[in-house]
Structure 1
C-alpha cells in the first residue's frame, strides 16, 4: 500500500490547488526499479522547504507520466535513502533498468522533468539524417545541441558523444554529417538564444559552449551557487518571491531587460520560502514579498527597490538606469520610522 503524505495547499498563479505526494513503500520501490523498468525517483524529506517546493511540480508531472515517476519519503524510509547515498533533499535519481543510476541535475519544473524522461530513454546522441529532422530536433527541448560534423573530424565526434553522456540530464544532443567545416550549435530555447562554434582547437571549447548555453538569462540564486554569482564581477539584481509561479512570471516578463544588461548585471530569482533570510542584508523588509534589490558585491553597495512600486520591466529598467547614472544613493543600512527600509520612501 502506498504511503500518502499530508496534503499541502499551494497558492499558484492565484488558484488554490491541493496536491500531495504519493510515496512508494520500500518493497514497491524495489519492484519498480527491478527488471528492465526505468524510473526517475525523487527521494524527499517532507519537512524541507525544497521538497515542499518540488511537490506541485512533481505532482503535475506524475499526471502525465505516472508509471516512470516514483517518490520515496526518507523520513519513513531512512535506511533505504542511506543505501542510495541520499544526503540532501530532494535528491532525484534516474534508474535505467539495467543497474545504472544517474543523478538528475536539471530544473525542477514539471516540463523539464518530463523532457528529461524522453531524453533518458533514447540514444545519448540522436542521429539526424536530414536537414528537416535537424531543424525539428533543435526546437524539441528547452536546450538542444546539434553537431554538424565533417567525417574528417572524428575526434570531435568522440568528444561530443562523451559530453552528451555527461549532460544528457539537461540537454538533447543530435548530430549529422556535413561536407562543410564542423560546427556545433546549442539552442537555449527557453531564453531564445543560440551559441555556435566552429573553432574546436581548444580542448575546452565544447564544454564552454554548453555551459554558456545552459546559463539562463535569469538564474535561480541558491546557497550552492552563491559564490559563483558573488564572484562573477557583475552586480546582482535579486527578485524575492515565495511563489514559484510568481517567479516564473517575473522571468518571462523581465527576460528582455536582463538580456539588455547581461554584460554588466546578473538577474536572479530567490525562493523566499527557502532563502528569505537573504532579504534583510539587501535592504528589504523581512517577510514582505515579492521584493527586489540590486547589489554590487565588489563595492558592497545595495540598492533596495522601493516597496510598493510596480515590479515591471520598464520601471525596473528605469531604476537600473538611475543607479548607473548615480541618481540613487546606496542604502545606508538604516530603517525608516515605520519599520521599512529607508529606500522605501524614495
Structure 2
C-alpha cells in the first residue's frame, strides 16, 4: 500500500470537517447539571495544541454529538478558572452525578469515542463465561484481563486500584480462576499481547500497562524527547502536518516498525508544533511529509531522499542500506536544489 495515495485521498476529505461548535455557559451548566454524562474540551483557540485537537474533536462529534461539548476559554475565562483549567486543551469527563475526571488518553477521535464507552461502564467488567472473555479481548484498543485466584486478594486490590487510575485509557475485565493468577493486556491497535504471571513485584502490573500502552509507532514531543533519546535505539522520524497524514503512515508502516522494534524507535512528529526539529535532521523546513533516521549515539543523521515514495518496502530497503553502509550520514549542508525549493516555499 502506498502511503502517498492514501494521504492524497484523505487530504481531500479534510475540508469537509466541521469546525468548533462551542457551547455557551448556560448550555454547559445545563448539560453537566443533569444526569447525562459529558466529555468537555476546554480550549483556547490561539494555542497550537487546541488547533491540533480541532479536527479530531470535530470528527468525534459527528459520531457522538450529545456527549461531547467544547468551551472557548478565551471568551469564558471565569468559567474555565472555576473548573481549575490552567492549560489548553483540557478534557474533563462529567459523570452526571457531580464528579469530574480528567481524560489523559490520546487526543484522537477513535480514542475519545472509545473512552466515552468505557466511562459509562463499571471500572472492571466481570467476565463470567469463556465467550464474554474472548469478546472482551477485542472490544477496545487496549484491554486488560485478570484471571485471579481467590487466594490472591492483594492482587485483586491492586488490580482494582489500577483500573480506577487507568480507565481513561484501557478497558478492564476480570474472571475468577482456580489456577494460577495471570494478567494479560491486549494492544489491539498494534496487534500485541502482554502477559505476566509473576506478580510478586510491586511494579509488575504498572509495568505491564506501560508496555501495553507503548505504541509500535509513537508520537515524538518535547515532553517525551528524553525518553526516546535515552533508549539507545536509533529513531525513524516522520513529520506530518495532520492526523490525516499520520494514521495512514502508521497503518502502513506498522509491520516494518515491529520488525525493527528491538533496534529502532519509529515516531511521528507534528510538523506544525515541532517543525523546528526538521532542519537538524537534514530535512528541508516546511517540506512535509518527510522522513529521516537519527542515530543519537554517534550523532549521525540519514534524511530519506526527497521525492521518493514513502512505502514500507522503500523505507525497509533504506534502513538496510544504512546498516550495510550504502548510505552516508548527512554532512550538515543542504543541496542548492533543496535550498532553492525551500526559498520558493516561503514566498
Sort the TM-score into its range (normalised by shorter chain). over 0.9
Task: Give the alignment's TM-score, normalised by structure 1.
Answer: 0.92
Partner of 2:345: none
User: 2:17–2:58: 8 Å Cα contact kept in structure 1?
Assistant: no
Partner of 1:88: 87
1:184 Cα shift? Answer: 0.5
1:275 Cα shift? Answer: 1.4
Task: Give the alignment's TM-score, normalised by structure 2.
Answer: 0.92
Partner of 1:143: 142
* Alignment partner of 1:213 is 2:208: no
Separation (CA, whole Å) in 1 of partners of 2:285 and 2:84: 36
Q: How does 1:205-244 map to 2 (within 5 A)?
A: 205-244=204-243
Q: How does 1:1-346 map to 2 (within 5 A)?
A: 12-15=10-13, 16-340=15-339
1:14 Cα shift? Answer: 2.5
User: 1:93–1:101: 8 Å Cα contact kept in structure 2?
Assistant: yes
Separation (CA, whole Å) in 2 of partners of 1:339 and 1:246: 22
Separation (CA, whole Å) in 2 of partners of 1:18 and 1:265: 35
Tell me the secondary structure at the aligned position of residue 36 of structure 2: coil
Separation (CA, whole Å) in 1 of partners of 2:28 and 2:222: 31
Give the structure with the higher percent helix: 2
Q: Which string of whole-angstrom CA distances, capped at 9 and with x for unpartnered residues, describes residues 165-207 of structure 1?
A: 1100000000000111111110000000000111101110110
Separation (CA, whole Å) in 2 of partners of 1:67 and 1:275: 34
Q: Which string of whole-angstrom CA distances, capped at 9 and with x for unpartnered residues, describes residues 252-292 of structure 1?
A: 00000000111111100111122111111111001001100
**Structure 2 CA distance for partners of 1:313 and 1:290, relative to 1, 3 Å:** same
Partner of 1:4: none
Tell me the secondary structure at the aligned position of residue 212 of structure 1: helix
1:322 Cα shift? Answer: 1.4
Mean Cα displacement is larger for which, 319-328 or 170-179? 319-328
1:294 Cα shift? Answer: 0.7
User: 1:12–1:244: 8 Å Cα contact kept in structure 2?
Assistant: no
Mean Cα displacement is larger for which, 201-210 or 296-305? 296-305
1:339 Cα shift? Answer: 3.3
**Relative contact order, CA 8 A, sep 6+: which one is greater?**
2
Structure 2 stretches of 5 or more lacking a match? Answer: 1-8, 341-347
Separation (CA, whole Å) in 2 of partners of 1:234 and 1:102: 36
Separation (CA, whole Å) in 2 of partners of 1:65 and 1:334: 49
Tell me the secondary structure at the aligned position of residue 338 of structure 1: helix
1:330 Cα shift? Answer: 1.1
| Residue correspondences, number | 331
Tell me the secondary structure at the aligned position of residue 194 of structure 2: strand
